Structure 1
Amino acid sequence: MPQTSPDDDARRPLHVEEWTESDGRPLRTLVSGRPRTGAPEVVLVPGLGAVGYMLELLHACGAWTRATLVDLPGFGQQRTADLPSDLDSVTARLLSALPPSPSVLVGHSTGTQVAMHAALDAPDRVGALVLVGPTFEPAARRPGALLARHMWTSAFEPPGQLRYTVPDYLRGGRRFREYLTSALRDRPEEQIGRIQAPVIAARGRHDHFASQEWVQQLAAAAPRGRARTLPGAHAVPYNHPGAVAQLAGEAAAAMGGS
């Protein structure tokens, strides 16, 4: 059997691109790390179609398990440009990327809504949920309220994240609106009470998209929910990937205690 050396590990890329098909439709994922005995895999779901801002989080989780970042269909990649991007369609794509054994599902922003739907649709493959900056609380489901919260939160966000998010948003075109509109119609508070897996709901300290009250409400409604406050604002996976990776580790440990 071939032996690997430290030099081999040093040359190994931090992540690789994988393409799969489900129901004849392509799905792009980025994969880091490898399966480890006793450690569940981690699947990351970004918000509103951008993926680049979550790469550091992908690598942080890939240090201790196999981690997969799902590139939502309809954004950024020409091969998926014609695929529908509503919440239900995106959830179906995510389900095709889940490992067969229970994994830790980490969603950010609108990705938390996709993650919750996946946990309800495939409870045998979602062993724990981490919901970071969950959207959209009832008070923020109007255009004016969303704009105000965006302005409040932006004051605490680093401009560097825009180079990862804006290009994908622009390439999404009409699909950006399709995804956002379906997410605004969604009602996470009516669903989370049916999720039996451990749930960690978290927000950045300066996140005005996801208020402390909203995060605590979701955690309290989940049968096995906990609330956490992290540094930063809404873009916690970009600013503080290590803190989010630590939550994924906590969620994995909660799976072992179930």
Structure 2
Amino acid sequence: MSESAPVIVEFTHAGATLIAEERGDGRPVFLLIHGIGMGRKVFDGLVDILATHGRVVAIDQPGYGDAPEPPRTLTMERTADLLAAYLRSRDHGPVVAIGHSMGTQIATELTVRHPALVERLVLVAPTVDPSARRLAPQLWRLLRDLAPEKPLVLYRGGREYLRAGPNLRRKLHAMLVHRPEFAYPRVAVPTLVLRGADDRVCPRPWCTEVAETIPGAQYLEVPGHRHETMIREPREAAVRILAFLARAADGAA
């Protein structure tokens, strides 16, 4: 499959603006949803791989990356509705929704609130487990997870956190008050829950619980990886995602 030139789209709906970068052609359409303090650029390595298998849409949520700060911080549900409006405007559905960290919360809400727009769901390092829905334990887990990381991961992550602006605390609050476990039982598409085996932010018991709560979900780990498994050596995550899609297609045949 030949790779097309990137297309940058600025999209505004209900007072909030996102930036989308689209690469590749055809189907499936992969929708990449970043986590707290991040932006679409952290997925560059993953985009390079997935764009040879379909069309990839990597977004900057409002107030992250190149997207302007919204007048009010969006909830996970409102962000999902914004993504749904964007997908409809571009006639992209149904997509393979791939969320990382906080992005898994948005991807899950997109799936249950707009089921016609999502055909497969991938949750990489899903947040937030009920035992750590406070700022202090989340920051402590993140620091422990990032301490041994490679300079590339630290550079990209630090750069994006700085770009997230002065309202990062409000964004963290929106993430922490959301209850993804209420949405998981309503997911009705094939789902993969993917975790770095050494992830300090998302404990194994919580991630396996997520997989058990979503009907028919699969659970996999990436050995030797931590929370930023899609940023650090993304090929390992990509291989598992593509294999999952192949199995799901075989099951639907």
TM-score (ref. length: structure 2): 0.87
- Which residue, out of 23, 32, 55, partners 1:66? 55
Among all aligned residue pairs of Structure 1 and Structure 2, give the percentage whose two residues are the same amino acid.
28
- Match of residue 244 from structure 1: 237
Separation of aligned partners in 1, 2:16 and 2:178:
25
The alignment covers a number of residue pairs equal to 245
Separation of aligned partners in 2, 1:72 and 1:150:
21
**Displacement after TM superposition at 1:144 (Å):** 3.4
Alignment gaps of 5+ in structure 2: none
Separation of aligned partners in 2, 1:43 and 1:246:
16
- Match of residue 173 from structure 2: 181
- Match of residue 159 from structure 1: 151
Whose Rg is larger?
1
Separation of aligned partners in 1, 2:15 and 2:173:
26
- Match of residue 6 from structure 1: none
Range moving further from structure 2, 115-124 or 172-181: 172-181
Separation of aligned partners in 2, 1:174 and 1:111:
20
CA distances 1:217-257 after superposition (whole Å, capped 9, x unpaired): 01011112011101310011111312222233234331563
- Match of residue 19 from structure 1: 10
**Displacement after TM superposition at 1:186 (Å):** 1.2
- Which residue, out of 43, 56, 76, partners 2:45? 56
- Match of residue 226 from structure 1: 218
Preserved contact between residue 57 and residue 245 of structure 1 (Cα < 8 Å)? yes
Range moving further from structure 2, 125-134 or 91-100: 91-100
TM-score (ref. length: structure 1): 0.86
Range moving further from structure 2, 115-124 or 235-244: 235-244
- Match of residue 210 from structure 1: 202
CA distances 1:57-96 after superposition (whole Å, capped 9, x unpaired): 112111110010011111233x622343322332222212
Tell me which amino acid in the other structure corresponds to 1:181.
H
Tell me which amino acid in the other structure corresponds to 1:244.
A
Preserved contact between residue 135 and residue 210 of structure 1 (Cα < 8 Å)? yes
Report matched runs for 1:1-258 at 5 Å.
13=5, 15-23=6-14, 25-35=16-26, 39-51=27-39, 52-77=41-66, 80-86=68-74, 87-98=76-87, 99-231=91-223, 232-253=225-246, 254-255=248-249, 257-258=251-252
Could you say what the CA RMSD is over the residues aligned between the two structures, in angstroms? 2.3
**Displacement after TM superposition at 1:49 (Å):** 4.1
- Match of residue 3 from structure 1: none
Separation of aligned partners in 2, 1:92 and 1:188:
15
Preserved contact between residue 91 and residue 117 of structure 1 (Cα < 8 Å)? yes
Range moving further from structure 2, 224-233 or 85-94: 85-94
Preserved contact between residue 31 and residue 98 of structure 2 (Cα < 8 Å)? yes
Preserved contact between residue 197 and residue 226 of structure 2 (Cα < 8 Å)? yes
Preserved contact between residue 17 and residue 70 of structure 2 (Cα < 8 Å)? no
Separation of aligned partners in 2, 1:151 and 1:25:
31
Structure 1 residues 25, 181: CA separation in 2 closer, same or farther (over 3 Å shift)?
A: closer
